[in-house]
Amino acid sequence: MPKRTDIQSILIIGSGPIVIGQACEFDYSGAQACKALRQEGYRVVLVNSNPATIMTDPQMADATYIEPLTVEMLDKIIAKERPDAILPTVGGQTGINLAVALAEAGVLEKHGVELIGANLRAMQVAEDRELFKQAMEEVGLESPRSGVAHSLEEARQIAAELIGRYPIFVRPSFTLGGSGAGTVFTPQEFDEKVLWGLKESPVHTVLIEESLIGWKEYELEVMRDAADNFVVICSIENLDAMGVHTGDSITVAPAQTLTDKEYQRLRDQARLVMRAVGVETGGSNVQFAVDPATGRVVIIEMNPRVSRSSALASKATGFPIAKLAAKLAAGYTLDELKNDITQKTVAAFEPSIDYVVVKLPRWAFEKFPGVDRELGPQMKSVGEAMSIGRTFKEALQKGVRSLEIGRDGLGVMERDEEGRFRGYEPDTSLHDLLRIPNRDRLFAVYEALLKGETSSLICQLTGYDPWFVE
């Protein structure tokens, strides 16, 4: 299917200011989308509130607005520029939230503007936990046992009737980087977290969910076009078990501990998720949790947009997800788009890689002295390093060195003059550092191995897969 000729002008929503959970990955995707659409002859209008980005450079778009990303401001810009369509999927969570708000406020209908890349229903289903759960049930896929609450009383009722035991996971709707989310172990913690979550959520709803702490976490970066062609760009495995935000977890691509049968099962489920949510074109990120004891698979969530993981998958495989997502939104199909690297194969070929890519998060706790250093479902890292190697060990060593934290590679924990772990409470033991997710857990594992601890004990304490420890 050739590109659409019924639209001439496309408005791209940027991701706004750089905050934890939404950084330069979305500048990268937005800049790629601008280039790709201009290349196809479309007039591109860009709106972003952050002038310190590549995408707001004058040569990137035909018209650039550095204005607040609000419904009122977008209404004025749309009235002036008269775009035929809006592409919200390259602006991160901000782009999605703003597109939904514009549709609900009647702005799109008023100006006769359509959404491309992801339709309104797809964005609402992916973001609204209750709708997402229903969509998964309709196609026979399992999501964690959960319920949506609008008040503390409702939350207590869901916890008692649906889940029935602690720990319980509390997650606010429509927030970025896991903001306000957390696992609770007592009724008192539960009440506090629910009240906090209701405040954090822009729609004042929270999801009460069974806790999947200790389960293995996998992600598939996938693309689909209007002809229902479907490709998996990359599989990503989280070294840290469920309970740590994927942005704070060490991740490995491709996934190392899945058998081919398990991988094909996740692949088939990802395809069903794309169809159920209604993502017609573009890239999406589907996250799975797998119980290591029983093999039970549940769908955690899917993002109907270019995400942080898309930037990693693009760099890891050489497959330009944001660029191709923009072209798919303009009407092309995967088999019509050439692979930039080979110049022979088309984008419908799934990339295969014979190397390992590791992403290591970079924290800056020294700049946030009052922050709790324990890692959880709320993202705390401010950057990341990506490394490539022939083996996992090689890529990991390169990654640690690339973090610029004063280490040449894996080493033991840092200590003060009295032999205590630097940056931790005086009574912290090595086993505490293995058990509690923290930024130095990788080095604690290395030290434990040097001291002769068994890999089975380390795996039990950390939740790491034995393959990585050994």
CATH, residue 189: 3.30.1490.20
Does residue 20 register a pLDDT over 80?
no
CA angle 274, 277, 283 (to 5 degrees): 45
Classify residue 262: in a domain, yes or no. yes
Confidence of residue 200 (pLDDT cuts 50, 70, 90): confident
Both 419 and 458 in one domain: the answer is yes
- The whole-number pLDDT of residue 5 equals 87
Better pLDDT: 201 or 450: 450
Q: Of 357, 375, 397, which residue sits at a domain end?
A: 357
Both 220 and 344 in one domain: the answer is yes
Classify residue 348: in a domain, yes or no. yes
Both 200 and 242 in one domain: the answer is no
- The whole-number pLDDT of residue 45 equals 96
Both 20 and 63 in one domain: the answer is yes
pLDDT in tens, 154-196: 999 998 887 778 889 888 887 766 677 888 889 999 999 999 9
Q: What is the mean pLDDT of residues 44-57?
A: 90
**Which residue segment(s) compose the domain that 245 sits in?**
216-357
- The whole-number pLDDT of residue 136 equals 94
Both 230 and 321 in one domain: the answer is yes
- The whole-number pLDDT of residue 223 equals 94
Classify residue 2: in a domain, yes or no. no
Q: Of 342, 357, 372, which residue sits at a domain end?
A: 357
* Cis check: omega of the bond before 320, within 30 degrees of 0: no
- The whole-number pLDDT of residue 419 equals 84
pTM, full prediction: 0.89
Both 310 and 189 in one domain: the answer is no
- The whole-number pLDDT of residue 450 equals 94
Residue whose pair of structure tokens reads 């970025």 in the numeric block: 176
Number of domains in the chain: 4
Both 164 and 32 in one domain: the answer is no
Classify residue 134: in a domain, yes or no. no
Both 353 and 445 in one domain: the answer is no
Helix/strand/coil (H, E, C) string of the chain?
Answer: CCCCCCCCEEEEECCCCCECCECHHHHHHHHHHHHHHHHCCCEEEEEECCCCCCCCCCCCCCEEEECCCCHHHHHHHHHHHCCCEEECCCCHHHHHHHHHHHHHCCHHHHHCCEECCCCHHHHHHHHCHHHHHHHHHHCCCCCCCEEEECCHHHHHHHHHHHHCCCCEEEEECCCCCCCCCEEECCHHHHHHHHHHHHHHCCCCCEEEEECCCCCEEEEEEEEECCCCCEEEEEEEEECCCCCCCHHHCCEEECCCCCCHHHHHHHHHHHHHHHHHHCCCCEEEEEEEEECCCCCCEEEEEEECCCCHHHHHHHHHHCCCHHHHHHHHHCCCCHHHCECCCCCCCECCCCCCCCCEEEEEEECCHHHCCCCCCCCCCCCCCCEEEEEEECCHHHHHHHHHHHCCCCCCCCCCCCECCCCCECCCCCCCCHHHHHHCCCCCHHHHHHHHHHCCCCHHHHHHHHCCCHHHHC
Classify residue 397: in a domain, yes or no. no
- The whole-number pLDDT of residue 74 equals 95
- The whole-number pLDDT of residue 463 equals 92
Of 134, 288, 290, 147, nearest to 209 (Cα)? 147
- The whole-number pLDDT of residue 105 equals 94
Classify residue 378: in a domain, yes or no. no
How far apart (Å, rounded) are the C-alpha atoms in residues 178 and 196?
13
Helix 92-104 vs helix 71-81: angle between axes, to the nearest 10 degrees?
Answer: 80
Classify residue 286: in a domain, yes or no. yes
Least confident window among 35-39, 50-54, 67-71: 50-54
- The whole-number pLDDT of residue 1 equals 67
Least confident window among 97-101, 169-173, 338-342, 377-381: 338-342
pLDDT in tens, 93-144: 889 999 999 999 999 999 999 999 888 999 999 988 789 999 999 999 999 8
Classify residue 39: in a domain, yes or no. yes
Q: Of 159, 187, 210, which residue sits at a domain end?
A: 210
Q: Provide the CATH number for the domain around residue 76.
A: 3.40.50.20
Both 423 and 307 in one domain: the answer is no
Both 81 and 154 in one domain: the answer is no
Does residue 335 register a pLDDT over 80?
yes
Q: What is the mean pLDDT of residues 199-228?
A: 91
Does residue 14 register a pLDDT over 70?
yes
Both 202 and 87 in one domain: the answer is no
* Residue 300 main-chain phi, psi, to 5 deg: -80, -55
Q: Provide the CATH number for the domain around residue 292.
A: 3.30.470.20
Q: How many CA atoms lie within 13 A of 322 on its CB side?
A: 28
Both 84 and 103 in one domain: the answer is yes
